[in-house]
Amino acid sequence: MAAIECNLKEDCSTDLSKSPVFSDETVKTIEEHETSGIPLQSAWTFWLDRAISGTTVEEYKQNLTKIYTVNTVQSFWAVFNNIPKASAVQVRYSYHLMRDERYPLWEEPINQNGGTWRLKCYKSDTETIWKEMVLAAIGEQFADCVMEGDEVCGVTVSIREREDIIQIWNMNASLASKATVLDKVHSLLPNTKFQELYKPHQSHHAYGRR
């Protein structure tokens, strides 16, 4: 199982292209938490990718690194606290936290009818927003913010040259206009400014061909 160890200074830029694994001690701790921790309502999987223009869907999928699938609150924290912080990740990399073990791919059958709320934020706010959004996701705080037949199924942080982008994935783009997900985001981050929009996966110019 590919994963990332974080024994890094917070002010360094982390090269994740080689995808080192967790230490044996960290893996043991995570596994212990998986069997004895407080269960989450569903499993969640951490993924890592590096944006490379011109790749096909299959190439993109092959370049994804699965970090770990967590099933308890404690194992979530054991993973979250032992991967590099978003501020230490190089430009063009993204972390994803996806429900169950689904891939963070627009074209996956389980995802293809959905979309994302995109929050473009200042780099000084990225850590705070990312942390609040993943906690809201695993705590099912968005459950009452979407219509019946829809579900929040992932959160992504993408590190870019200037502002970073955080995305909240849902499964049914046709119901997004009736959702109150952004209201929840603002309630969780009342003093944080960002640009926001909703984008269906199938509206991306690279959908189906990357």
156: closest CA among 189, 180, 129? 129
pLDDT tens string, the chain, 210 residues long: the values are 333 333 333 333 445 444 445 888 998 999 999 999 999 999 999 999 998 888 888 998 988 999 999 999 999 999 999 999 999 999 999 999 999 999 999 999 999 999 999 999 999 999 999 999 999 999 999 999 999 999 999 999 999 999 999 999 999 999 999 999 999 999 999 999 999 999 999 998 776 665
DSSP tag of 132: H
Looking at residue 28, what is its pLDDT? 93
What's the pLDDT at 204? 83
Those residues whose C-beta lies under 8 Å from the C-beta of residue 72, and which sit 6 or more positions away, are 33, 34, 36, 37, 38, 39, 40
The pLDDT of residue 53: 83
- pLDDT of 17 reads 44
Provide the strand spans (E) within the chain.
Answer: 39-50, 65-72, 93-99, 115-121, 152-158, 164-170, 194-200
Six token digits for residue 191 = 């003093």
Q: How far is CA 93 from CA 17, 96, 147, 193, in A?
A: 9, 10, 32, 22
pLDDT at 1: 31
pLDDT (0 to 100) of residue 54: 82
One-letter identity of residue 59: E
